[in-house]
Structure formats: structure tokens, C-alpha cells
Structure 1
Amino acid sequence: MAARFSLTFDSVDAPVLGAFWKTALGYVDELPPAPSATRAEGLAQFDLPEDDLPEHGVWLCDPDGVGPHLSILNVPEPKTAKNRLHIDVRVPGHGSPDERWARIRAESDRLVRAGASIVDEVDGQHVVMADPEGNEFCVAATSA
């Protein structure tokens, strides 16, 4: 059996970045760990620093349970370099190269409206983008 994994983003404003990734991926807020009724209650069991508040983090999951969980946590330092790992947002569907490119462009446009920016377009194959905090990701078609 393959290992399950989650991804964690460092952030300066977790609620803003969380809202973007919910929109980008169609994710939902993850429920707090049982038996906690709230995220604050769940975090209270850990010996966290006094200024480490529940609103300094966002926890997201795929509503279908397929994709990895995302944690977005406030950190004091800003992003300073290119990501060593990035997310590829895959646009479904097949068709001609022009049809695939049209779907990639439409998804890129949707994500720009959600707060991303376009960094580069690569030969009609994918679009390199940055989320609201500058984390790079790509929009591409699913594999044929």
C-alpha cells in the first residue's frame, strides 16, 4: 500500500491563502480531529506557544477523500526563493492541442480572478502561476 501524505504551506496570511487554494482545488475545510468539536479545542491538547492561535492556520481536504490534505500555517519569515516542490493543477479532458490549451487558459484565467498571477506560458503545454503569496504552481492538461 502506498503511503498517504499531506502538504503544508508556510504563509503570512493563512486565511487568505487557504481561501485561494479552496477555490483552486475545490477543497473544503477539514473537520477538527475527533473527539474535538472545534479546531481550537483540538489544538488545545498540544503545548503550543501562547501566540499560536487556531486562526493562524487553515486545514483543507479533498471532499472526495482522494487528494492530499493541505495545512496552511502562518510563519514569521517571508518566502525568499523558488519552491523546490510545486502543485500541478490538472485540467481534465482530451481533444486537440488547441482544445487542451483553451481549457488550460480558461482555468488560468479563473485562478487569476481568484488571486493568482501568471508567471510564464510554456509552449502551449502549461502555464506557470503564483498563488497570492508567490508560491509557484502550474496549470496543465491531464495526461493523455
Structure 2
Amino acid sequence: MPGCAAIRQNPRMAIQVQVTFDCADPARLARFWAEALHYRSEAPPAGFDDWPAFLRSIGVPEEELNDGDSVVDPDGAGPRLYFQQVPEGKTLKNRLHLDLAVGGGRSVPLATRRARVEAEADRLVAAGATRLRVNAPPGMDQYGVVMSDPEGNEFCLH
């Protein structure tokens, strides 16, 4: 295989990552996360007008055509997010969550970071998120908001 020699020559090569969400409504969650991250829907493979046409071409049954959806970073820098339909609902706290760095980092004054985080929280509430709690320990130069997406998956803004 042509790619194997390159891997052997550079065993420390970074591995591409996809983040996969189990969910009830892949299309809805894909739209939310595209909005949250300024991503876009993933285009279908070349030669196909849409994903259902491609999926039919590889033998996916009609009843499974809407079992998944994906969004990608338009600049190609961030990971692909894939949303797969599962029958069971979310029952426990996430073991993994996304942190969205929207405040600007510690070099930005706390009041400015707080305003940026709050503005982003308001924008995402309008897109379907729920504000869960503020994370601002007394005496610390820290401010964040814990949120959940439309299916209850927690994420943080900081």
C-alpha cells in the first residue's frame, strides 16, 4: 500500500480525528453544531448531487438514508463532526465534551472575555442550546458558561 511506507518513515505523524455524536436527530444536531462552530454541511462525494444519491449508490437501504449527518470546518483546520442516529437517549453526564474558546484567552481582560462568552451563549441559546451554569470561581481570572446542545450534550464556553 502506498500510504504505509510514509507512515513507517514518520511514526509520529498526526492522526486525523473525527468527533462522533450519538443522537436521536442527526440533521438537527448537525445544523446546531455547524452554527455553533461556524462549520458547514459536508458536501457529497464528487459526481453526486446529494448524500442520499451517494448512499443509494453504495447500497444503503432507503430507510437508513437519514441515519447520519456531518459538518466540516470550511478552512479544513478543525475535525469533521459526524452525527449518528442511535435508538437510546442520553442518560448520563458526558464523559467527553467540547470547549469553545470564544473569550480570547487570558491576555484579554476578564470583563471583555466575560462579555464575549455571554454574547456567544446568547447566540447559541437562540440556536437551540440551553444555558446550564456559570463557571466563575471567586478570586480566579476565569469565566465560562456550561451549556447543553439540543440533545443535552454538555459543552463549555470560555
TM-score range, shorter chain: 0.7 to 0.9
Q: Quote the RMSD (CA, aligned, Å).
A: 1.7
Query: For residues 35 and 145 of structure 2, what CA distance do their matches in structure 1 show?
Result: 18
* Count of residues paired in the alignment: 139
In 2, Cα distance between equivalents of 1:139 and 1:119:
11
Q: Which one has a bigger Cα radius of gyration?
A: 2
Q: CA deviation at 1:38?
A: 2.5
Alpha-carbon separation, structure 1, partners of 2:96 and 2:85: 19
Pick from 102, 120, 133: which aligns with 1:91?
Answer: 102
Residue ranges of structure 1 left out of the alignment (5+ in a row): none
CA deviation map 1:83-109 (0-9, x unaligned): 111111111534211111111111111
1:107 is aligned, of 120, 131, 146, to 120
Deviation at 1:51, TM superposition (A): 2.5
In the alignment, is residue 18 of structure 1 matched against residue 30 of structure 2?
yes
Equivalent residue number for residue 84 of structure 2: 73
Moved over 6 A (4+): none
Query: What is the deviation of 1:48?
Result: 4.2
2:57 maps to 1:57? no
Q: How far did residue 42 of structure 1 move?
A: 2.7
Among 15, 18, 42, the alignment partner of 1:3 is: 15
Which one scores higher on RCO, CA 8 angstroms, separation ≥ 6?
1
The aligned residue for residue 117 of structure 1 is: 130
* Structure 2 runs not aligned, ≥5 long: 1-12, 137-141
**SS of corresponding position for 1:42:** helix
Q: Does 2:150 correspond to 1:137?
A: no
C-alpha distance after superposition, 1:14-68 (max 9, x if no partner): 1211111111011101112345443123323545455312x23211000000000
SS of 1:33's partner is coil
